[in-house]
A = this chain, B = another copy of it.
């Protein structure tokens, strides 16, 4: 399961990540492919392997409801994984997440996806519902990650 090229690269004039001592700070990551500038809106915008992993049912009514938050959750966490790997670390080095939702009813879906990325010790976590994120109201989740990766 590979993220399509471009994910995890900054969309504006900000750094995707910066090292400060033993820490790696990541910018808040949104479900937007920076190369195509497309927002991930559902299952069709993520790789087939990821769709299967997330439990795409093939039933229209179910997939159209769950697809957006599941696909966005996967895309954002996969982007974090890609980013920390490009910094020389791995997902388990990401020890803190701040998660912004547009609708906290989505939390259980996100929570299930997050467990796939954290089979071992979970990170510390903060969760709040905000009124909007960049670049548009279609964005349902943004995650800010902090990693500890001693040099």
Contact = CB atoms under 8 A, between A and B. Distances in A.
A130 B130 contact: yes
Interface string A99-123: 0100011011001101100100111
B13 A115 contact: yes
B60 A11 contact: yes
Contacts of A111: 12-13, 57, 59, 61-62
Nearest to A95: B18
Nearest to A65: B108
B60 A27 contact: no
Given A126-B144, A128-B100, A136 B11 contact: no
A105 B105 contact: yes
Give how many copies assemble into the complex: 6
A27 B128 CA distance: 12
A3 interface: no
B25 A146 contact: yes
A65 B104 contact: yes
Contact of A60 (B26, B37, B131): B37
A141 to B, nearest CB: 11
Contact of A107 (B125, B131, B134): B134
Contact of A26 (B15, B66, B124): B124
Interface of A: 11-18, 20-23, 25-28, 32, 34, 37, 57, 59-62, 64-66, 95-96, 98, 100, 104-105, 107-108, 111-112, 114-115, 118, 121-136, 142, 144, 146, 148, 150
